[in-house]
């Protein structure tokens, strides 16, 4: 999955012949999983139709502050458009539009939206060779970059004038690739690898029965997405669960038993920066596993259980540079047990949640946690969605990594 998946991309189109490429650019963004809206300068509609772009983006295309042909038309709010966008890209960006952006000229909806935008702004110039090389244009590029805008350089090739040289709009797939690389390069977890366990484990009794628990894996999967969205490569070791994730930075490894999870965690642990063990691993497993289905013959069934290997403690015993994070789900003496676990298992952080808190624990979309670090610092959070809890935890981990 692309890093722009789920993001809001506002595409601004100015009046250049290269505007014909924007249909393919919209398709590229949509295929990458982004939500796309389009704002056009009035003159750009001579080069590509709003109907084409609205069909591809599945959103209305805006080119004026209101529809002059409809006396009941609503105002197209440039402020709302600017705030909606996670990223604004002006492509093609003509010399005229770029000059106006650089000097704060505001004579159409696109420029008003640009001046209102709070998000990162990309611009992809497209113009003839002599225009691209003109000192005033080069000055405009530098001025816009000094404002924090990001330039996607034009390429060399055959131009509309018949000349061959620099000034050709970058191809749609290259524009998307440039944005993805730029976004990733600025993310706080770029270059970091995170090992994450999630879900329950199933300990076989016989070929059809097992010992398990009620963990859905949702908390772990939300942490995986939160970390990947900030640039981390995530190795997600998951027990049996209905949860799904599709992200280019998440590698999913499915396991069943505690032993499977133990082996997978140890296989990757040496080369990761952070390990987050959120899985609900069975503490005990049957000492003997029947080779065939146990028949219901007696009124009682006795199973002899033995301890499973403690994955968290075993990683804590061998950790070097890794940041190790554990979870504690408790029902009584919560803080005491969590702090004891933190110290005993050589953790850097522990995330405590209690089954006594309504809305926390297994099979819910919410959680209420307290994060404790190995220096005794403790932060209690209110009940939140697991998505927000995951972001809080990842934020704490980033602070730890940068300390």
Task: Report the C-alpha gap between 52 and 391 in whole angstroms.
Answer: 38
β-strands 203-204, 121-125: how paired?
unpaired
Q: Catalytic residue at 213? A: yes
Q: What is the CA radius of gyration of the chain?
A: 27
From first CA to last CA, the distance across the chain in angstroms is 31
Residues in a beta bridge with 200: 280
> Are 277 and 251 a contacting pair, CB within 8 Å?
no
Residues near 243 by beta carbon (within 8 Å), at least 6 away in sequence? 198, 199, 216, 217, 218, 220, 221
Task: Report the C-alpha gap between 39 and 89 in whole angstroms.
Answer: 10
> Are 125 and 167 a contacting pair, CB within 8 Å?
yes
Q: Which of 77, 69, 75, 121 is nearest to 97 (CA)?
A: 121
> Are 210 and 204 a contacting pair, CB within 8 Å?
yes
In Å, how far from its chain's centre is CA 53?
A: 26
Residue in 96, 213, 346, 374 annotated catalytic: 213
Residues near 166 by beta carbon (within 8 Å), at least 6 away in sequence? 129, 132, 133, 154, 155, 156
Residue 220 has, within 13 A of its CA and on its CB side, a CA count of 34
Q: What are the tokens at 20?
A: 């014909």
Q: Residue 158: phi, psi to the nearest 5?
A: -75, 130
CB atoms within 10 A of CB 113: 27
Q: Which of 328, 349, 332 is nearest to 400 (CA)?
A: 349
> Are 199 and 238 a contacting pair, CB within 8 Å?
yes
Task: Report the C-alpha gap between 113 and 210 in whole angstroms.
Answer: 58
Residue 396 has, within 13 A of its CA and on its CB side, a CA count of 25
Task: Report the C-alpha gap between 156 and 96 in whole angstroms.
Answer: 20
Catalytic positions: 213
């Amino acid at each position: 999955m692309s890093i722009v998946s789920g993001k809001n991309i506002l595409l601004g189109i100015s009046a250049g012949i290269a505007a014909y490429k924007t249909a393919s650019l919209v398709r590229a963004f949509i295929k990458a999983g982004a939500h796309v809206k389009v704002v056009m300068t009035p003159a750009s509609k001579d080069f590509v139709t709003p109907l084409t772009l609205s069909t591809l983006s599945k959103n209305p295309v805006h080119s004026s502050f209101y529809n002059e042909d409809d006396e009941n038309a609503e105002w197209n709010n440039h402020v709302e458009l600017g705030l909606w966008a996670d990223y604004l890209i002006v492509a093609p960006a003509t010399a005229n539009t770029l000059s106006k952006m650089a000097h704060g000229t505001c004579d159409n909806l696109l420029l008003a939206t640009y001046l209102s935008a709070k998000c990162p702004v990309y611009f992809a110039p497209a113009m003839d060779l002599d225009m691209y090389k003109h000192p005033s244009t080069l000055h405009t590029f530098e001025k816009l970059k000094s404002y924090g805008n990001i330039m996607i350089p034009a390429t060399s090739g055959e131009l509309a004038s018949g000349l061959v040289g620099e000034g050709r709009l970058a191809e749609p797939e290259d524009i998307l690739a440039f944005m993805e690389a730029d976004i990733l390069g600025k993310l706080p977890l770029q270059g970091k690898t995170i090992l994450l366990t999630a879900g329950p484990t199933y300990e076989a009794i016989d070929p059809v029965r097992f010992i398990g628990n009620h963990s859905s894996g949702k908390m772990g999967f939300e942490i995986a997405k939160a970390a990947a969205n900030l640039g981390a490569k995530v190795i997600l070791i998951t027990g049996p669960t209905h949860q799904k994730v599709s992200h280019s930075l998440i590698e999913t490894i499915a396991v069943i038993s505690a032993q499977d999870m133990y082996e997978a965690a140890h296989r990757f642990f040496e080369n990761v920066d952070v390990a987050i063990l959120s899985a609900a691993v069975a503490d005990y497993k049957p000492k003997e596993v029947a080779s065939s289905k146990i028949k219901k013959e007696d009124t009682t069934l006795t199973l002899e259980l033995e301890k499973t290997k403690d994955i968290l403690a075993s990683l804590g015993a061998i950790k070097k540079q890794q940041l190790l994070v554990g979870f504690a789900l408790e029902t009584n003496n919560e803080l005491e047990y969590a702090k004891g676990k933190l110290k005993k298992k050589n953790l850097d952080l522990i995330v405590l949640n209690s089954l006594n808190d309504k809305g926390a624990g297994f099979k819910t979309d919410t959680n209420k946690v307290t994060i404790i670090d190995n220096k005794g610092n403790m932060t209690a959070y209110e009940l939140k969605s697991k998505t927000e809890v995951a972001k809080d935890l990842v934020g704490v981990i980033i602070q730890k990594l940068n300390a």
